[in-house]
Amino acid sequence: MKKNFFTSAILVLAMSFMVGCSSDDSTPGNEVEDPKGQLFKQKILVEDITSASCVWCPLASFTTEELAKSEYDDRIISVAVHGDFNTQLVKDPFVLPGMTKLMSAVELGGWPFVAWNRDLDIKGTEFQGFIPKRKNESGEIQYTFDANLFKNFYTKYSLFSESSPIGIKIESDLTVSGGKVDVSLKFGQDINQELKYVIYIIEDGLVFQQANASTLYGNNSGSARWEMNFVHNQVVRATNNFLGDPIAEGEAVTTNELKVSADLTYTVKNLENVSVVVAVLGEDGSVLNAQKSKANTTQDYEKL
């Protein structure tokens, strides 16, 4: 059954006014903000499905690194979901249980694979179209990030929107071994579909070997080799559910906000390098909006 989350919030709020009609709620400063019509900043979720034993996966790592240095940094949230490509080469220590469900959901057909808002119309290898090989100043053939080719890519698939009707606020209380993430949502318009939310705990600066057949990361050998001190960033260390947990109608509604939370257990190396990523999924599994926050830091709604 489809549920109207914004309308549900309004009904709950209206009932509270009817029950407690004392003058306290009508005094200046106690007005309840009505988010209807409010627009929020839209961000896209980029999921790099990678593995330490995958020789071409550094191409995707390079891509997300270049996007983070580009003008699109504040519109793109990248995470690295590790899987087992070839355990006979090396066992990847960053693989989480259940990640194969994500592989199925995004219809992974080969490695490296990059999912864009979990849009199934975008093949996981298409990112290679905007990192062509070109000669550098030394005459060596290297991969480069081409902003114009990336623009062609995101325009083709209408990845960026001017705004989103869904606002996301993140609060967290995390330690190196677990913690709680609180997510608040506001809806600027009626959302007439079942929604789910995914929470990722991600960590930067994790050093572990990486198979590499590309010419990136100093590999001028002409063949595949191990990068023994490869720095893995944006590594997913925990999640509530790779496919998302349902947002139940009336789960917790206050001042027109829908609130959900998750208690997560994990192990991270350095809390300073940890962030929280939240994505809201539509009924088809695609990402409607996403947000990111440093651990133990509140990321408020980004209103337009």
Chain segment 84-130, per-residue pLDDT in tens: 999 999 999 999 999 999 999 999 999 999 999 999 999 999 999 99
What is the Cα–Cα distance from 221 to 2, expressed in whole angstroms? Answer: 57
Per-residue pLDDT, 10:
38
Q: In this predicted model, which residue has the larger pLDDT, 141 or 122?
A: 122
Chain segment 31-46, per-residue pLDDT in tens: 556 667 889 999 999 9
Per-residue pLDDT, 18:
34
Per-residue pLDDT, 233:
98
For residue 148, pLDDT beyond 60 = yes
Residue for token pair 């989103």: 164
| Domain spans of the chain, in order of start | 35-294
Chain segment 178-220, per-residue pLDDT in tens: 999 999 999 998 888 899 999 999 999 999 999 999 999 999 8
Task: State the Cα torsion 109-49-147-66 to the nearest 10°.
Answer: -150
Instruction: Mention every residue, 6+ apart, whose C-beta is less than 8 A from residue 138.
Output: none
* 12-16: Cβ within 8 A, 24+ apart: 12/250, 12/253, 13/253, 13/255, 13/256
Per-residue pLDDT, 191:
80
Q: In this predicted model, which residue has the larger pLDDT, 14 or 222?
A: 222
Chain segment 169-179, per-residue pLDDT in tens: 999 999 999 99
**Do strands 44-50 and 76-82 pair parallel, antiparallel, or not at all (unpaired)?**
parallel
- The verdict on domain 35-294 having CATH code 2.60.40.2550 is yes
* 28 touches 146 (CB < 8 A): no
Per-residue pLDDT, 16:
35
Per-residue pLDDT, 26:
44
Percent above pLDDT 70 for the chain: 86
Per-residue pLDDT, 33:
61
Instruction: Mention every residue, 6+ apart, whose C-beta is less than 8 A from residue 78.
Output: 46, 47, 48, 64, 67, 68, 234
Q: Name the pTM for this structure.
A: 0.87
Going by pLDDT thresholds of 50, 70 and 90, the confidence category of residue 255 is: low
